[in-house]
Structure 1
């Protein structure tokens, strides 16, 4: 609607200016009016072909037509993404043409006596009118065009930033989901290590209690006391673990109350860090077990009727908590497997403190033919859990049957 209105006004202006042009050129008035209407209507295509509009305005300048078309055409040309040299050339042509026409017109008016001003006014008027009709629309068009391009660039950057934030949010959600999966795996592994060993010993002691209940009441009482101790220890460890899990869940709920959008560009890093803090150890460190308790662990298996030989090489020293816990759990799970699958077999537990690593090995001989089976269920996750623990610390885990018919579990964990 704006272009149609401007084209209409320009056509009327050029038509009105065509009347004196027809008189000066010696042509019919209607021809001058029609020429003015056609020339002024060219402004309708100023957005699509601004160069053509300016060229038409320059062409009809000698006829003293198209002042509005020239101003609007220069503005439209400067707004478009046209090379600056083209804008400058056309603006200079328009200014020069306007200056010449104005100079001639003012000089003629002074010659006819219509203007009684000095000769200095002729060049002054020509320069002032030419600059006034060309410079302002060009400068305004350049400013508006630059501002439009800046706004478009800012919108594109905002769109890119929004897409980047959306991508970061999706990655943060993926990392959070991965952390939750890792947390579930760790919980399952820790629950398996805590419960399986204690319950296995309880089942072994219960079987022994059933066998000697009538023949040896004193031994039955001792086995019953051991079963009670094992149960209390298992309950204590489960309560501690559940307490850590509960506190970790509360911390995660507090962290979840912060909107993801509030963290801005740092969303991915913050979500990953929160996942590690909350998922890695369930909100806080897990107490024990330690390698110093390895003798007690072996003693419990020996009390259950297993013949266990413990040997330690190298000078004992303290390690990082996760290293000691992993080493302890490997020995614990290996002894649990002996109770499950090779009850009554002699077992050798070897621990070696080296310069930059700690090594452990649990090997059992073939079970005797007379050994009674406790019929303990097995989920097949013990060896997998041990390997995951050791691999998480950069260690090496190997397990498999021996040539003698037994089974061997070996692991090496870096000390640092």
Structure 2
């Protein structure tokens, strides 16, 4: 064993340096106890030398050596108690016995060994006390106190010297173990709280990412469709401005209406975002669950102010006004759905029509909506684009970010629906989606 490394002594204290002591005051305490114990045993060694006819210096030296062993009590408590039991017949080492028993009981030594050594110390003290009290009674001039006096006084002395330090040591040991357990539990709780904080931060980051994605999707759906129609009407306006002034005026009015509708939808969306931002700012000091509830309320509000399937007729009419040939077919009994279902269905049809304006100018389009028992299905299919430019929008040159189909798929799958898109055999394109009707 190295004296500079860390180890755990018999009392459960972790020591670093200072031999087996963990702190300077422990060294001072044990050294002081060693001096007092050595002095006590040296004085008692004089009497022991007189009783055994030994030279006094030998008795004193024996007492000094025996009493100084108390310095080792933290490292070897069993050895200290055994030495105290061994010197009990010499009527020395009372401080050694008391401190040794206390240290033994407070240590991590098995309870069985503590009980055995305590019993040995009790019996040794009882025997010595019985002999000593008997001698004192025999040497006194007082009347005979009775047969019960010597055993009773011997028992009192043995119990008074042995049990109090043991009980106090057991209490201190149990208290120390309790404190260590509480400290370990506090460390464990601190680690768990740190993990929970990390997970909460991850969830918050995920929620922010999801919210940014949702906002980008909404902005794309609102802006892309309206602006695409505005560009189509502007191209048609440019084509007929000189040939048909009345039609040009009509197209200009449609462009103005599209712009106003786009601004209205943007204002509604920004209003919802500001409301959600205010709620989150006001809940900065409340638990994460309250912030999540505020975010959910904001999302619900966003869904309520969004479009619904009842506005599909107007949506199709706008495309027809832009020169697109659109056929709308509705099957089943029309009914209301949850706001998020209504909004998602509308956005799918809207984005599909926008893609037709961008990529298949002049193509004929068929929009189908089927109301079923537990779901609502929609399909937007267009034919091959008109490459001759007869549709009047072939020169619009509408840009595409490539996020339309991705956004539709994310919307549908977020509600547990099914989304399928792809080219048709006739050279057109088909977008299909099925949403649960709950």
* Alignment TM-score, normalising by the size of structure 2: 0.90
Tell me the equivalent position of 2:231: 203
Q: In 1, distance between residues paired with 2:221 and 2:235? A: 21
Tell me the equivalent position of 1:358: 376
Higher deviation after alignment, 104-113 or 162-171: 104-113
Deviation at 1:285, TM superposition (A): 3.3
Aligned: 1:27 with 2:49 = no
Deviation at 1:113, TM superposition (A): 2.3
Q: In 2, distance between residues paired with 1:100 and 1:115? A: 23
Asked whether the 8 Å contact 1:179–1:279 carries over to 2, the reply is no
Give per-residue Cα distances to partners, 1:44-94, cap 9 Å, x unaligned. Answer: 111111111111000000000101110111100000112222111111111
- C-alpha RMSD over aligned residues: 1.5
Equivalent positions of 1:277-356 (< 5 A) are 277-278=294-295, 281-282=298-299, 284-286=301-303, 287-356=305-374
Q: In 2, distance between residues paired with 1:41 and 1:403? A: 103
Equivalent positions of 1:17-416 (< 5 A) are 17-113=44-140, 118-119=145-146, 120-258=148-286, 263=287, 270-271=288-289, 274-275=291-292, 277-278=294-295, 281-282=298-299, 284-286=301-303, 287-371=305-389, 372-416=394-438
Q: In 1, distance between residues paired with 2:371 and 2:299? A: 30
Structure 1 segments of 4+ aligned residues over 4 angstroms from their partners: 114-117, 279-283
Q: In 2, distance between residues paired with 1:385 and 1:345? A: 23
Structure 2 segments unaligned to the other structure (5+ residues): 1-27
Give per-residue Cα distances to partners, 1:194-223, cap 9 Å, x unaligned. Answer: 010000000101111111111111111111
Give per-residue Cα distances to partners, 1:136-173, cap 9 Å, x unaligned. Answer: 00110111111111111111111111111111111111
Asked whether the 8 Å contact 1:61–1:101 carries over to 2, the reply is yes
Q: Secondary structure at the match of 1:379?
A: coil
Deviation at 1:281, TM superposition (A): 4.3
Asked whether the 8 Å contact 1:358–1:412 carries over to 2, the reply is yes
Asked whether the 8 Å contact 1:110–1:116 carries over to 2, the reply is no
Q: In 1, distance between residues paired with 2:259 and 2:302? A: 24
* Alignment TM-score, normalising by the size of structure 1: 0.95
Aligned length: 405
Asked whether the 8 Å contact 1:71–1:134 carries over to 2, the reply is yes
